[in-house]
């Protein structure tokens, strides 16, 4: 949903985010919603500047989000508060699941299919009865015993098994009743520490503000994703919004608060290791991906929109390899590197420490401050042959060999470190042309305001000229392993004395054009799988629909009396659509659920979908369209006129996820990697699929280790942006948060005889840091499962460079990964706290 | 999301120059000499982001000072000064363990944040105290120190009942908020108000702001915030002691003292006559006593 759409919400739950502090501009629309009478709820371990403006503040201890959200789901189910007219046709609540499925409630916290040997799930028993559903995520392939391709094809053979009376014992509704049954308000209080009365007020507010006339929204950020169960927390929220009918509608949805430094853009045209641009899967050696034919066979979904995958894949290869892509070489598919495992940041860091990775480019990142377990990060860097750091000011990463943790602790001296570090000054956003992609997929062009000083250059300049030089080397050497480099098209025009590549040329390629004429295409519907089109990112098609039309530059807002979807303002992918799945804003017959929440509707006279937004549906597909199963329909022909969720193979919102999530089809509460308490719900303590990386220096705390009794969460500050350096090096922002501090609840501070501004030491098995104490009532002790636990919080954005300084809190954290995303845990660890300062060697 | 109709006149991401009457687009007001302008700072909308502080220092080219952790909640600015013309105060009011912040009245009741600045009094005492005429009322009804005329005598400093004006350690002259006099002349909204993401700081014509503020108080009362009131609007706390109203006025939800504001500020000049009389009487008394003593001796 759009940030500005929040103004139309009747209830906004901010959870897993400190929105007012870290997204202050977006919070403008929360304040506007509040003016219109919306209820604002903040669920968080810390009372923050967001809580200060909320109507309800619900304190929960870090890492108990799923217990809280599952409690809401149970409340909705047992009180029959779900939006039946929406849920029955639009979600898979009635779908019948494989009879072999067993829930966590039967097996002490594990779902059926667990393989103790591989420590992973086989997903056969989670499937729809008699079918195998490909995942709607980037990797469509699902780990099953059944042969994937043959079974997946059955999706086109028959209507999906369902029981709309919801009586079948293995329909999703019945499974959910059993699964969520134990998340009672009493258990929510025991697990989260949130008083029952507050929890129930949250439930009531959400329910009261949902239905035909009213809608609610969730806003989250890294307070949800930086957990061992991050993906499942978001899943729990999707179930709530699905049950309440808060998807695809005005003022409704789940808003991932991202967008700092174009982080949405870096997922779309990704810096992620396991995806090709705009969410195409990266081939892997572990999958049947040897040839393009094999790859397309297993990754093409038989039903739904993703059935178009081959068109997007072949067009991407054409864009990258140009004339070197031919039908006989499978459009250059063989040039693509294949995944050999988890190559995420944390595993790469450990491979540096193990001496496997020899060189590192650091662009737009400051891992010595921002990555977890920064001591191990620095040990890894110390073993590199070379490291290139590009930033606008000197960062801790570029200076680790001189002033880093290793040097200060006496573990190493600069002369022990052989890494050759190249520091290259980079241009900031205002010093270059380009785009920023906002959290609501809104791609906005920005023009250069001034020249970057000195030798500073844009990242685009650096990547382009690096590629150009590598290609020149490859051309000279004529080595076979350089074939992919030689095949790469790299013909962006450059301009000016600095030979700056034209960023609009890059955007034209991302949009896509015909090949070889290079005539811009207007939409991804024009892409083909025969090599006649090239497209760098299918979802962005339409952003540059003709040679001189850069839609991301457009700045025409709706008039004050207009629909307020602002379709003339920049470009939102896909197809300049503002609200995904907006077919769901109309009832099954195609009429808006209510005038108040009207967005798109079926116009019978014109025979097409119309509305204030670009409809997210086949434009002329009638609401009464039904697939003709006798013809084995594929793609969108297998999606009926009442199934809005066209990226999902059955067109329905997945309350129960049969495929794609390695840690279960429904969210279950597991304790964080480190917790002072045992799991109150199951014998299974933590996420069974959790990625652990035991390594010297990356030791984990056992459950309830008395040496580390407190719960630690890290956070950011409005005043210091991202990794901090851009603001710590600026006097005007540095003076606003000039020094590291740690927030300590009053009761704990009194026990330790600590007052505000006293020095305290925080320690874990990974390391220790010192900070000034900030004693506050904004943090409160929690009663969890009969234990009294203290929650403390520390900002992680400090380092030794710039004016605002302090130890890096990430020294304290361990490396571990969410099973789906390999994301680290920064929001729930355990630690020790004592009065005093670190040992002299460490503070020298 | 409301946008000004004129916003549709600029359909591209890049402008050729400064937009005419830009404040009309950003604040809905056209700035014209001869009218009264000011700020309505609504603390119930403040999220304490301090964008106003940064925007103020950036635009006015004020140096950073006071680098250090104060320990006073998230306020590391401390106070208004010669180099700091916007200051966001933070007041933590959260009940301790046991009570807990779970049950709360709506609208920023547990952690108060308020962006303070020069009040631009209708009858500014600083101006009265200024012997050189450096302090003056502009054509926008705001109060500004002319730096080329100020002689650094410092009389304005104790004259200000809010403790706003300060002499700079750098040039020895008095400095304070100009309500972005230069921006107003160019048709631009003041930097702090323009940067405020939640419209806690609203810039506009005083009469318009005052009626907007009165409506807001009524709205908040309706929403259960009985404690909301205006500070510095005509007839309200802050607008006392012949200051008239304040052109920079506030909506508060707790006592003025909680925000470090005087409940009933006064003009120093009102105290001149009585203190002069007292002084003269004392002098006369001493003189009489002296005459009596000396006369007797003679």
Q: Answer yes or no: do B58 and B109 share one domain.
A: yes
What tokens does B33 get?
């000499």
What tokens does A294 get?
């094999």
Contacts of B95 in chain A (CB under 8 A): 777
Q: How many CB atoms are closer than 10 A to CB A745? A: 24
- Going from the C-alpha of A138 to that of each of A277, A345, B288, the distances in angstroms are 10, 19, 100
Eight-class DSSP state of A813: P
Q: Are the CB atoms for A619 and A613 separated by under 8 Å?
A: no
- Mean pLDDT in residue range B82-89: 97
Q: What is the pLDDT of residue B272?
A: 80
What tokens does B54 get?
């940064």
Alpha-carbon span A701 to A706, nearest angstrom: 10
**Over the stretch A814-831, which tens digit does the pLDDT of each residue have?**
999 999 999 999 999 999
pLDDT at residue A844 is higher than 60: no
The residue of chain A nearest to residue B3, with distances taken between CA atoms, is A560
**Alpha-helical runs (H) found in A137-291:** 148-152, 172-180, 185-192, 196-208, 222-225, 230-244, 265-268
β-pairing verdict for B201-205 and A114-115: unpaired
- B8:A557 CB<8 A: yes
Q: Answer yes or no: do B85 and B215 share one domain.
A: yes
Q: Answer yes or no: do B138 and B39 share one domain.
A: yes
- Phi, psi (degrees; rounded to nearest 5) at A596: -60, -35
- Going from the C-alpha of A266 to that of each of A260, A263, A272, A277, B70, the distances in angstroms are 11, 5, 8, 9, 38
pLDDT at residue A23 is higher than 80: yes
Q: Answer yes or no: do B199 and B251 share one domain.
A: yes
Residue B16 lies inside a defined structural domain of this protein: no
Eight-class DSSP state of A89: H
- Mean pLDDT in residue range A280-292: 93
Alpha-carbon span A84 to A749, nearest angstrom: 50
Q: Are the CB atoms for B76 and A735 separated by under 8 Å?
A: yes
The residue of chain A nearest to residue B17, with distances taken between CA atoms, is A449
Residue B99 lies inside a defined structural domain of this protein: yes
Q: Answer yes or no: do B113 and B246 share one domain.
A: yes
Q: Which of A35, A47, A445 sits opposite B110 (nearest CB)?
A: A47
Q: Are the CB atoms for B203 and B39 separated by under 8 Å?
A: yes
Band of the pLDDT at B105, cuts 50, 70, 90? low
Q: Are the CB atoms for A712 and A829 separated by under 8 Å?
A: yes
- B68:A738 CB<8 A: yes
- Mean pLDDT in residue range B48-55: 98
Q: What is the pLDDT of residue A260?
A: 81
Buried (b) or exposed (e) across A318-332, using 16+ Cβ within 10 A? bbbbbebbeeebbbb
Q: Answer yes or no: do B229 and B286 share one domain.
A: no
Of the listed ranges A143-147, A731-735, B225-229, the one predicted with least confidence: A143-147
Angle, CA of A615, A618 and A623, to the nearest 5°: 90
Q: Which of A7, A718, A745 sits opposite B49 (nearest CB)?
A: A718
Alpha-carbon span B164 to A100, nearest angstrom: 74
- Mean pLDDT in residue range A454-469: 96
**Over the stretch B172-206, which tens digit does the pLDDT of each residue have?**
999 999 999 999 999 999 999 999 999 999 999 99
Angle, CA of A39, A42 and A43, to the nearest 5°: 135
What tokens does A177 get?
């009743």
Would you call A353 helix, strand, or coil by DSSP? helix
The residue of chain A nearest to residue B48, with distances taken between CA atoms, is A49
**Over the stretch A668-693, which tens digit does the pLDDT of each residue have?**
999 999 999 999 999 999 999 999 99
Contacts of B1 in chain A (CB under 8 A): 4, 7, 29, 32, 564, 566
- A50:B47 CB<8 A: yes
Q: What is the pLDDT of residue A334?
A: 96
- Going from the C-alpha of A797 to that of each of A15, A49, B64, the distances in angstroms are 21, 18, 20
- Phi, psi (degrees; rounded to nearest 5) at A262: 55, 40
**Alpha-helical runs (H) found in A629-689:** none
- Phi, psi (degrees; rounded to nearest 5) at B177: -55, 135
- A560:B2 CB<8 A: yes
CA distance B194 to chain A (A): 12
Q: Please, what are the domains in chain A?
A: 4-88+180-260 (3.40.228.10), 345-434+450-477 (3.40.50.740), 691-843 (2.40.40.20)
- Mean pLDDT in residue range A142-156: 83
- What is the number of alpha carbons within 13 Å of residue A29 lying toward its C-beta? 23
Q: Answer yes or no: do B50 and B165 share one domain.
A: yes
- B71:A745 CB<8 A: no
What tokens does A535 get?
């497209």
**Over the stretch A724-738, which tens digit does the pLDDT of each residue have?**
888 999 999 999 999
**Over the stretch A44-61, which tens digit does the pLDDT of each residue have?**
999 999 999 999 999 999
DSSP bridge pairs for A792? A712
Q: What is the pLDDT of residue B99?
A: 47
pLDDT at residue A840 is higher than 80: no
Contacts of B113 in chain A (CB under 8 A): 49, 52
Contacts of B223 in chain A (CB under 8 A): 37
CATH of the domain at B62: 3.30.70.20
**Over the stretch A314-344, which tens digit does the pLDDT of each residue have?**
999 999 999 999 999 999 999 999 999 999 9
Q: Answer yes or no: do B149 and B244 share one domain.
A: yes
The residue of chain B nearest to residue A48, with distances taken between CA atoms, is B111
CA distance B88 to chain A (A): 10
Alpha-carbon span A186 to A179, nearest angstrom: 16
- B101:A47 CB<8 A: yes
Give the largest CA-CA distance in chain B.
94
- Phi, psi (degrees; rounded to nearest 5) at B267: -90, 135
N-to-C CA span, chain A = 50
Alpha-carbon span B160 to B265, nearest angstrom: 9
Count of A–B CB contacts within 8 Å? 168
Q: Are the CB atoms for A269 and A536 separated by under 8 Å?
A: yes
Eight-class DSSP state of A600: E
Alpha-carbon span A299 to B25, nearest angstrom: 50
**Over the stretch B247-289, which tens digit does the pLDDT of each residue have?**
999 999 999 999 999 999 998 888 888 888 888 999 999 999 9
Residue B123 lies inside a defined structural domain of this protein: yes
Band of the pLDDT at B106, cuts 50, 70, 90? low
Alpha-carbon span B200 to B194, nearest angstrom: 10
Whether the CA torsion A467, A472, A477, A483 is positive or negative: it is positive
**Alpha-helical runs (H) found in A126-184:** 148-152, 172-180
Residue B68 lies inside a defined structural domain of this protein: yes
Q: Are the CB atoms for A75 and A240 separated by under 8 Å?
A: no
| Close Cβ partners of B29 (under 8 Å, ≥ 6 residues apart) | B23, B37, B189, B203, B204, B205, B208
Contacts of A57 in chain B (CB under 8 A): 101-102, 104, 110
Which residue range forms the structural domain that includes residue B283? 271-298
- A53:B51 CB<8 A: no
- B102:A564 CB<8 A: no
- Mean pLDDT in residue range A513-533: 97
Helix axes A65-78, A172-180, angle to 10 degrees: 120
- Mean pLDDT in residue range A123-152: 85
**Alpha-helical runs (H) found in A302-403:** 309-321, 345-353, 367-370, 374-382, 400-403
- Going from the C-alpha of A259 to that of each of A22, A208, A606, the distances in angstroms are 11, 31, 38
Contacts of B107 in chain A (CB under 8 A): 53
Residue B88 lies inside a defined structural domain of this protein: yes
Q: What is the pLDDT of residue A686?
A: 96
Q: Answer yes or no: do B74 and B205 share one domain.
A: yes
Q: Answer yes or no: do B58 and B193 share one domain.
A: yes
Residue B19 lies inside a defined structural domain of this protein: no
- Burial class of A425 by CB neighbour count within 10 A (0 to 12, 13 to 18, 19+): middle
Residues constituting chain B = 298
Band of the pLDDT at B103, cuts 50, 70, 90? low
Q: Which of A29, A739, A756 sits opposite B1 (nearest CB)?
A: A29
Residue B30 lies inside a defined structural domain of this protein: yes
Q: What is the pLDDT of residue B108?
A: 64
| Close Cβ partners of A467 (under 8 Å, ≥ 6 residues apart) | A488, A490
How many domains does chain B contain in total?
2
Band of the pLDDT at B98, cuts 50, 70, 90? very low
What tokens does A695 get?
């390594």
| Close Cβ partners of B182 (under 8 Å, ≥ 6 residues apart) | none
CA distance A452 to chain B (A): 18
Residue B11 lies inside a defined structural domain of this protein: no
Angle, CA of A36, A40 and A45, to the nearest 5°: 165
Q: Answer yes or no: do B296 and B215 share one domain.
A: no
Q: Answer yes or no: do B114 and B158 share one domain.
A: yes
**Over the stretch A207-216, which tens digit does the pLDDT of each residue have?**
999 999 999 9
Structure ipTM? 0.94
DSSP states along chain B: ----GGGGG--SS--SSPPTTHHHHHTS----TTS-EEEEEEGGG-----HHHHHHHHHHTPPP---S---STT--S-S--SS-S-EEEEEE----TTT-SSS--SSS-SEEEEEE----BSS-HHHHH-SSS-EEE-TTS-EEE-TTT-----THHHH-TTS--EE-TTT-SEE----SHHHHHTTPPPHHHHH-TTSSEEEEEHHHHHHHHHHHHHHHHHTT-TT-EEESSTTSTTS-TT---BSEEEEESS-GGGGT--SS---GGGGHHHHHHHHHHHHHHHHHHHHHHHHHH-
Eight-class DSSP state of A674: S
Residues constituting chain A = 844
Q: What is the pLDDT of residue A417?
A: 96
Per-chain mean pLDDT for chain A: 95
- What is the number of alpha carbons within 13 Å of residue A483 lying toward its C-beta? 11
């Amino acid at each position: 949903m759009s940030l500005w759409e929040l103004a139309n919400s009747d209830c906004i739950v901010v959870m897993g985010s400190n929105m007012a502090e870290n997204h202050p501009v977006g919070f403008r629309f929360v304040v506007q919603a509040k003016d219109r009478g919306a209820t604002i709820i903040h669920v968080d371990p810390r009372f923050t500047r967001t809580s200060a403006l909320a109507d309800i503040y619900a304190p929960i201890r870090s890492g108990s989000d799923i217990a809280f959200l599952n409690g809401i789901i149970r409340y909705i189910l047992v009180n029959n508060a779900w939006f039946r007219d929406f849920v029955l046709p639009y979600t898979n609540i009635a779908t019948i699941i494989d009879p072999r499925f067993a829930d966590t409630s039967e097996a002490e916290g594990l779902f059926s299919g667990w393989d103790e040997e591989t420590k992973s799930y086989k997903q056969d028993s989670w499937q729809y009865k008699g079918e195998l559903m490909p995942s709607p995520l980037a990797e469509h392939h699902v780990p099953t015993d059944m042969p994937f391709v043959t079974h997946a094809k059955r999706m086109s053979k028959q209507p999906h098994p369902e029981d709309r009376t919801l009586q079948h014992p293995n329909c999703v509704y019945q499974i959910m009743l059993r699964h969520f049954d134990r998340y009672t308000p009493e258990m929510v209080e025991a697990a989260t520490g949130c008083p029952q009365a507050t929890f129930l007020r949250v439930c009531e507010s959400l329910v009261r503000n949902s239905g035909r006339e009213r809608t609610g929204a969730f806003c989250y950020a890294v307070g949800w994703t930086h957990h061992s169960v991050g993906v499942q927390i978001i899943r729990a929220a999707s179930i709530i919004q699905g049950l309440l009918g808060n998807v695809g509608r005005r003022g409704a949805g789940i808003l991932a608060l991202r967008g700092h430094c174009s982080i949405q853009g870096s997922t779309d045209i990704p810096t992620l290791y396991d995806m090709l641009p705009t969410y195409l899967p990266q081939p892997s050696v572990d999958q049947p991906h040897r040839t393009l034919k094999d790859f397309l066979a297993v990754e093409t979904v038989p039903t739904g929109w993703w059935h178009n995958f081959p068109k997007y894949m072949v067009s991407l290869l054409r864009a990258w390899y140009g004339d070197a892509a031919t039908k006989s070489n499978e459009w250059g598919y063989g040039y693509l590197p294949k995944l050999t495992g988890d190559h995420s940041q944390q595993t790469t860091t450990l491979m540096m420490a193990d001496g496997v990775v020899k060189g590192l480019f650091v662009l737009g990142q400051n891992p010595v401050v921002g990555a977890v377990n920064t001591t191990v990060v620095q040990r890894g860097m110390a073993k590199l042959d070379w490291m290139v750091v590009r930033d606008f000011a000197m960062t801790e990463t570029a200076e680790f060999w001189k002033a880093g943790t290793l040097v200060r602790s006496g573990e190493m001296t600069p002369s022990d470190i052989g890494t050759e570090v190249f520091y290259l000054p980079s241009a900031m956003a205002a010093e270059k042309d380009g785009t920023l992609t906002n959290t609501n997929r809104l791609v906005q062009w920005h023009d250069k305001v001034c020249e970057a000083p000195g030798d500073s250059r844009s990242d685009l300049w650096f990547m382009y000229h690096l590629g150009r030089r590598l290609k020149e080397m490859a051309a000279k050497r004529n080595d076979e392993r350089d074939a992919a480099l030689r095949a790469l098209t790299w013909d962006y025009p450059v301009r000016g004395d600095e030979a700056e590549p034209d960023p609009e040329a890059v955007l034209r390629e991302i949009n896509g054009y015909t090949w070889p004429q290079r005539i811009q295409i207007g939409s991804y519907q024009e892409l083909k799988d025969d090599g006649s089109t090239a497209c760098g990112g299918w979802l962005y098609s339409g952003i540059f629909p003709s040679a001189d039309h850069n839609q991301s530059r457009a700045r025409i807002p709706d008039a004050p009396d207009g629909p307020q979807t602002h379709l003339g303002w920049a470009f939102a992918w896909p197809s300049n659509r503002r609200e995904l799945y907006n077919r769901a804003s109309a009832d099954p017959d195609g009429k808006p659920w209510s005038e108040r929440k009207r967005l798109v509707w079926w116009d019978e006279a014109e025979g097409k979908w119309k509305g204030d937004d670009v409809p997210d549906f086949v434009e002329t597909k009638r609401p009464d369209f039904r697939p003709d199963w006798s013809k084995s329909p594929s793609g969108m022909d297998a999606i009926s006129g009442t199934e809005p969720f066209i990226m999902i193979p059955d067109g329905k919102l997945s309350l129960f996820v049969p495929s794609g999530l390695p840690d279960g089809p429904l969210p279950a509460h597991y304790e964080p990697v480190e917790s002072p308490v045992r799991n109150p719900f199951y014998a299974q303590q933590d996420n069974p699929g959790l990625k652990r990386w035991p390594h010297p220096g990356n030791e984990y705390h056992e459950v309830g280790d008395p040496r580390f009794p407190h719960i630690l969460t890290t956070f950011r500050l409005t005043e210091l942006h991202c990794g901090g350096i851009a603001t710590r090096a600026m006097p005007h922002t540095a003076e606003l948060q000039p020094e590291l501090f740690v927030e300590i609840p009053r009761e704990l501070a009194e026990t330790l005889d600590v007052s505000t501004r006293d020095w305290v030491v925080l320690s874990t098995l990974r390391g220790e840091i010192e900070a000034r104490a900030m004693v506050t009532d904004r943090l409160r002790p929690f009663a969890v499962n009969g234990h009294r636990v203290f929650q403390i919080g520390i900002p992680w954005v400090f380092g030794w460079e710039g004016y605002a300084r302090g130890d890096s809190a990430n020294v304290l954290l361990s490396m571990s990964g969410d099973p789906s995303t390999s994301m680290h845990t920064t929001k729930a660890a355990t630690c020790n706290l004592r009065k005093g300062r670190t040992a002299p060697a460490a503070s020298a | 999301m409301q946008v000004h109709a004129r916003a549709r006149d600029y359909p591209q991401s890049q402008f050729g120059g400064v937009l005419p009457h830009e404040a009309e687009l950003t604040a809905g007001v056209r700035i014209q000499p001869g009218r009264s302008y000011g700020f309505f700072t609504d603390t119930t909308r403040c999220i304490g982001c301090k964008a106003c502080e940064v925007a103020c220092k950036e635009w006015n080219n004020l140096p950073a000072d006071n680098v250090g952790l104060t320990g006073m909640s998230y306020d590391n600015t401390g106070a208004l000064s010669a180099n700091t013309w916007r200051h966001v105060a933070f007041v933590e009011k959260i009940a301790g363990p046991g009570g807990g912040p779970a049950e709360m009245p709506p609208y920023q009741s547990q952690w108060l944040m308020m962006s303070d600045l020069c009040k631009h009094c209708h009858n500014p005492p600083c101006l009265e105290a200024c012997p050189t005429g450096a302090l003056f009322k502009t054509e926008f009804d705001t109060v500004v120190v002319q730096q080329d005329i100020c002689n650094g005598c410092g009389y304005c400093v104790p004259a200000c009942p809010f403790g706003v004006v300060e002499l700079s350690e750098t040039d020895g002259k008095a400095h304070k908020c100009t309500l972005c006099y230069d921006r107003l002349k160019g048709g631009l909204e003041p930097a702090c108000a323009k940067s405020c993401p939640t419209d806690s700081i609203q810039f506009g014509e005083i009469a318009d702001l005052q009626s907007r503020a009165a409506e807001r108080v009524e709205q908040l009362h309706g929403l259960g915030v009985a404690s909301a009131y205006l500070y510095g609007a005509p007839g309200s706390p802050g607008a006392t002691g012949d200051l008239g109203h304040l052109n920079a006025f506030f909506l508060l939800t707790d006592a003025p003292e909680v925000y470090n504001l005087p409940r009933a500020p006064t003009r120093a000049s009102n105290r001149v006559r009585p203190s002069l009389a007292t002084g003269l009487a004392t002098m006369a008394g001493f003189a009489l006593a002296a005459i009596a003593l000396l006369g007797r001796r003679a």
